[in-house]
Structure 1
Amino acid sequence: MSESGDVDGERDLPAGWVWSTLEDLLACEPRAITDGPFGSNLKSAHYTDSGARVLRLQNIGDGQFRDERAYINLAHFESLRAHEAAEGDLLLASLGETLPRVAILPKLDEPAIVKADVIRARLHPAVVTKWVYYALRAPQTQVRTSALIKGVGRPRLGLAAMRSIPVPVPPLAEQWRIVEMLEEQLSRLDAAVVSVEASSRRVRGLRAAALSAALESVGDSPVRRLADVLKEPLRNGHSAKATTDPGGIRTLNLTAVTQGDFSDENTKLTVADPHRVRDLWLTRGDILVQRSNTPDLVGTAAMYAGDNGWAIFPDLLIRVRVCEGVLPEYATLVLQSRDGRSYFKSRAKGLAGSMPKIDQSAIENFRIPVPSLDAQKRVVAEVQEQFDRVSRLSAELDRARKRSDGLRRALLRTAFNGCLVPQDSKDEPAPRLLARIAAERAAQPKPKRARKTAAKPPAQRVADVTAPEPTTAPALAVQQEFEL
C-alpha cells in the first residue's frame, strides 16, 4: 500500500511509515491466520470438563483476554491442530457489534484451539505484536473496518475481510517507542478506571444502606402479606411481535424495570391486539415486578411514574396495584430492599440452562411492614433525599468513566497519527521492513496440492481424514510479554 494518503479524512502518514494490511504482517508459515472449525468438527458432544481449551467469542473482551473456560478432550484436539492458538497470538472476534474486537492470548496451562467466529492471527516475529494489537483498537481502524463488515442483525468480519484490514506501519524502532509510551499512559488510565469502579460499588452500597436504614424506623409496624393490601388481583402482561408500524402498541421491555427508566428507548411497538390488551395500559403508580430474568435480577421491581395509557407491559412483568392504605412509592422501596431482593431470589425456580422465574404466589406472599401513611411518606422522603445524593455521585463517576474512554480513544488516535513520540530519521523506514517480510514469504516453498485420485468404491472409501501436522509458533523473544 502507499506510504501516504488521506484515508477517511485522516492525515497522511509520517515519513518512514507505510500502509499495510493484516495479511502482510503475518508469519511466514502455513495457516498463519485461521478461523475455528465449523459444523461436525466441534459439537457439544466433544466438550469435556478438562483437556484442551476452546477459545470462544466470550474469551475476547474489549482489548483483553477473558478467562472463560471450555474444554475438549485431548484426542479430539489432536484432530484440530490446524486451529491451534499459542501464547502471543492475536485473537479476533469475527462477530459482534464492535469489530474488530481483539485480544492477545496469554500463556495458558493447556493447549488451545479457536472455535468458529474466532480468528487466530500469528504475526511475523519482525513485527511488534502489541503495535498491531493497538492499531486494531484505534478509532481510525474502527472507521476503516466498518466498510468491510457484512450483515445487519449479526455484524460479521469474515476471514477474508480480516486479512484486508488496513494497518499503518511505522519503522520497527518507532513501533517499540510508541508501544512503550502507550503502555505507560494506558496503565494510568486503567488505574483510574479501577478506582472509579470501586467508587461505583461503594455508591451502590450507599443506596442500599440508606434504604435499609429508613425501613428500620418502621420495623415495629404491622406486617401483612402483599396479597392483603392489593387494590386488584396481580396481572401478567402480554408480549407480541415487534413492528415498525407507527400505529403499533407501545410495549415496555425488561430494561425499563431493571434501570427504572420508562422512556421511549426502553419500549418497542408491537402488533398486540388492542382488544386483548385493553386492561394492560399502565397508570401512574403501577408497580412492575420481573417474573423472569437472571438470578440477580429476577423479582426486580420499579414504579411507573409516566403518563396514564402511554404503554402496556410484556408477559415477563407482573403488575402490582396497592390499596389506598399503602403508598406505591413505599411498597416499591420495600420490594427493592435487601430483604426483598433476597426473598425473590430464594423463591425463583427454573430448569438447568433457563432463566429462573417467580410466579404470582411468590409476590402475593411477600410480607411488607405497613405503618401509617404519614410514616410511609416520611420514609419515602428520607430515602429520596439520600437517593438524590447518591445519584449526583453516580453522575460524577459516569462523567469520569466517559472522560477516561475519551482519553483512551484520543491516545490511540494520536499514536496512529504518528504524533505520540518523536521520530528518528535514523530509523529504518517501514517499507524496507515489509519488503524483507514479503521476500521471505516469496522464498517459502509453495505447499504441494494433493493429487486428485479417482473415487474408490463405497466399500473401500476411507472414513477419516488425517489431521494436519501442528504448526510451530514463531519465536516471540523480540516481543514484549503480554500481561493481563
Structure 2
Amino acid sequence: MSSTELPPGWAWATLGDLGKWYGGGTPSKSRPDFWTDGTIPWLSPKDMGPESITATQDHITDAAVRESATRLVPPGSVTIVTRSGILERFIPVAYVSFATTLNQDMKALHPHEGVTPHWIAWCLRAFESDILRNCRKAGTTVASLSTKALMNCEVPIAPPAEQRRIIEALEGHLSRLDASDSLLHSCNARTNSLVTGTMAASLRQAHAQAVRLDEVAEVRLGRQRSPKNHSGDQMRSYLRAANVGWDGLRLGDVKKMNFSDTEAEIYRLHPGDILLTEASGSAGEVGKAAIWNGEINDCSFQNTLLRVRASEAVSPAYLHHFLRHEALRGAFRASTRGVGIHHLGAAKLAAWPVPLPPPGEQSRIVRTIEETSFCVEKLRNTLQGASDRSRSLRKALLDRAFSGRLVPQDPDDEPASVLLDRIRAEREAEGPKRRRTPRPRKAATPPPPPPASSTPLPAQAVQQEFEL
C-alpha cells in the first residue's frame, strides 16, 4: 500500500505505531464469581456487526479482570475480530465508546492523541482486501489474522484536522447509503410476501377442500448415501439438498454414485416430480421446493430430498406452487424436528393438508401465481441492480476518502508527519515497554498451607499479551 502516492501533508504509518494494542481473554466459566452479576462489558465476535458498539451481550466482574487473562480496554478504541470463520469473507471492525474487555479472538487499538479512532476504523474497512491478503494465516482450521502482520500493515494518515473533515463527510454520505440499503432490504423481504399472498388469496377464492398429500401424490425419501456406492460400474447422477434453492434447481454441481438397476428404477426422477429439501442445518431452509423438468438424463435423488410425484388428481405445477408457498410462509420450519440438523420427514409431509380445487381452478391459480412471479422476478432484478450500485458507490466513497479526494485540503493543517514525529518522540521518552507482572489466578478452593519444609509453589497465572 505504501507504494501509492499520497496527497500533500499525508504520511504512511504502521498500525502498530498508531496507538496501544490490547489482546483479549476469556475468564474461566468454572468461576461463577467471574460472571455472576458482572457489570464490566466483555466484547466478543457475536457483538460485532454495527459500526459503533453501544452494548455487549456479556459482562464480567472485577474479580475476572484482576485474576484472568482479560484486560480493560479504554473507551474510544477500535476493536477487530482476529480469529473467526467470517474472516474468509470480511473483517468485523467497530468503534467502542466505552471501556470494555475482550474475548480472546479479538484485538483492540486505542489510538494516540491526534489519530481519530473513526479514521482507523474506516481505514481498516477501506483496505480490508489488502489486510486479508497480507495478514491471514495459512493452514489454520479457523481463519485468523497474524497479529505481527496486522501491526506491520501500513495505512495512510491524513493531518488530524483533515481526518475529522473526511470522517464527517464520509459518514454523512454513508448514512444516506445505509438508509437506501435498509429500504432495499425491506423491499426484497416483501417480494416473497407478494407470491405467498397471491397463493393465499387464490386459495380463499377457490374454497377448496383439503386432502392429505399422500391421497393425491406419492411421497418418497431419497436414496441413502454410502461409501460403498462412491464407485461402481453404474454411476448415475443424483440431486441433493444443495441442488434445490428458493429460486429453483441449482445444477452447477451434480454428484454421482452407484445405483443398481432396481434402485435406479425406484429413485429415478420423472418430469413433473417435485423435490423438497428434507434436512438442513437451518430450519428455515427445510421444505424448499423445485420442480424437475428432465434437465439431466437418468437422474436420481438422495435422502436429503423428498420427492413428491403427483397423481392425475392434481396438477404438478399447482402442487409445486402450493408446497413452495408453505415453505415461504414458514409452515415447514415450524414442523421440523431434530437437534443440529432439522428434518421434515416423509411421514409428516405425506400427511400434510393440501387444498384441492377443481382442475380448472388449479390451472387458474397456476396462471395467477406465474404472472405474479414474473413481475416479482423483474422487481428483484431491479432491486439487485440498485444493491450492486450501492456497493460500488460505497467502495468509491472509501477510495476517495483515503486518497484525499473527498473533501478540500487546507494547506494550513498540521502535516501528518509532524503528528507521527510527536508520537514517536513520546514513545521514546516513555522508554521500552515492560511486561506486566503475571497475576496469580485465584483458586476456586484455597489449598491447605504446605509444610514448612516444602518448596513454595510457583505462580500459576498467565497474562496473555503480545509485544508492540
TM-score band, normalised by shorter chain: 0.7 to 0.9
What's the counterpart of residue 314 of structure 2?
326
Per-residue deviation at 1:42? 4.6
Please tell me whether the aligned partners of residues 221 and 303 of structure 2 are also in contact (alpha carbons under 8 angstroms): no
Please tell me whether the aligned partners of residues 90 and 121 of structure 1 are also in contact (alpha carbons under 8 angstroms): yes
What's the counterpart of residue 18 of structure 2?
25
Deviations 1:279-337 (A, max 9, x none): 54544322222333323333333323451447554433222222122222211222233
SS of equivalent to 1:91: strand
| Partner Cα separation in structure 2 for residue 300 and residue 366 of structure 1 | 15
Indicate yes or no: 2:427 matched with 1:441. yes
What's the counterpart of residue 57 of structure 1?
45
Please list every run of 5 or more consecutive structure 1 residues that lacks an aligned counterpart in the other structure.
Answer: 470-484
Please tell me whether the aligned partners of residues 335 and 341 of structure 1 are also in contact (alpha carbons under 8 angstroms): no
Where does 1:112-191 land on structure 2 (aligned, <5 Å)? 112-138=100-126, 140-143=127-130, 145-151=132-138, 154-191=142-179
Please tell me whether the aligned partners of residues 53 and 97 of structure 2 are also in contact (alpha carbons under 8 angstroms): yes
Pairing partner for 1:263 from 250, 259, 274 = 250
Where does 1:29-428 land on structure 2 (aligned, <5 Å)? 32-34=21-23, 36-37=24-25, 42=28, 51=38, 52-61=40-49, 63=51, 65=53, 69-72=57-60, 75-80=63-68, 82-94=70-82, 95=84, 96-107=87-98, 112-138=100-126, 140-143=127-130, 145-151=132-138, 154-219=142-207, 221-231=208-218, 233-239=219-225, 252=239, 254-265=241-252, 267=253, 269=255, 272-275=257-260, 278=264, 279-293=266-280, 294-305=282-293, 307-309=295-297, 312-338=300-326, 341=329, 343-351=331-339, 354-428=340-414
Count of residue pairs the alignment pairs up: 439
SS of equivalent to 1:116: coil
| Partner Cα separation in structure 1 for residue 182 and residue 338 of structure 2 | 35
| Partner Cα separation in structure 2 for residue 134 and residue 122 of structure 1 | 15
> RMSD between aligned alpha carbons?
3.5
Cα distance change of structure 1 residues 43 and 223 upon mapping to structure 2, 3 Å threshold: same
Cα distance change of structure 1 residues 26 and 335 upon mapping to structure 2, 3 Å threshold: same
Cα distance change of structure 1 residues 466 and 101 upon mapping to structure 2, 3 Å threshold: closer
Please tell me whether the aligned partners of residues 60 and 66 of structure 1 are also in contact (alpha carbons under 8 angstroms): no
Cα distance change of structure 1 residues 160 and 312 upon mapping to structure 2, 3 Å threshold: farther
Deviations 1:205-252 (A, max 9, x none): 222211211222322x34211111224x512344568x9xxx987554
SS of equivalent to 2:284: coil
Per-residue deviation at 1:86? 4.4
The one-letter amino acid of 2:136's match is I
Per-residue deviation at 1:339? 8.8
What's the counterpart of residue 16 of structure 1?
9
SS of equivalent to 2:155: strand
The one-letter amino acid of 1:163's match is M
The one-letter amino acid of 1:33's match is Y
The one-letter amino acid of 1:304's match is W
Cα distance change of structure 1 residues 145 and 336 upon mapping to structure 2, 3 Å threshold: closer
| Partner Cα separation in structure 2 for residue 381 and residue 283 of structure 1 | 23
Please tell me whether the aligned partners of residues 93 and 102 of structure 1 are also in contact (alpha carbons under 8 angstroms): yes
Per-residue deviation at 1:346? 3.7
| Partner Cα separation in structure 2 for residue 382 and residue 13 of structure 1 | 59
Identity of aligned pairs, percent? 27
The one-letter amino acid of 1:101's match is P
Cα distance change of structure 1 residues 450 and 135 upon mapping to structure 2, 3 Å threshold: closer
Per-residue deviation at 1:448? 4.2
Deviations 1:80-117 (A, max 9, x none): 3643344322111223123433111244xxx7422232
Please tell me whether the aligned partners of residues 136 and 142 of structure 1 are also in contact (alpha carbons under 8 angstroms): no
| Partner Cα separation in structure 2 for residue 50 and residue 238 of structure 1 | 50
Please tell me whether the aligned partners of residues 79 and 96 of structure 2 are also in contact (alpha carbons under 8 angstroms): yes
What's the counterpart of residue 476 of structure 1?
none
Please tell me whether the aligned partners of residues 271 and 293 of structure 2 are also in contact (alpha carbons under 8 angstroms): yes
Cα distance change of structure 1 residues 100 and 370 upon mapping to structure 2, 3 Å threshold: closer
SS of equivalent to 2:107: strand
| Partner Cα separation in structure 2 for residue 249 and residue 433 of structure 1 | 68
Please tell me whether the aligned partners of residues 54 and 114 of structure 1 are also in contact (alpha carbons under 8 angstroms): yes
SS of equivalent to 2:423: helix
Please tell me whether the aligned partners of residues 284 and 330 of structure 2 are also in contact (alpha carbons under 8 angstroms): no
Per-residue deviation at 1:449? 5.5
| Partner Cα separation in structure 2 for residue 172 and residue 178 of structure 1 | 10
What TM-score does the superposition give when structure 1 sets the normalisation length? 0.79
313-322 or 385-394: which moved more? 313-322
Per-residue deviation at 1:182? 0.3
Please tell me whether the aligned partners of residues 59 and 66 of structure 1 are also in contact (alpha carbons under 8 angstroms): no
SS of equivalent to 2:176: helix
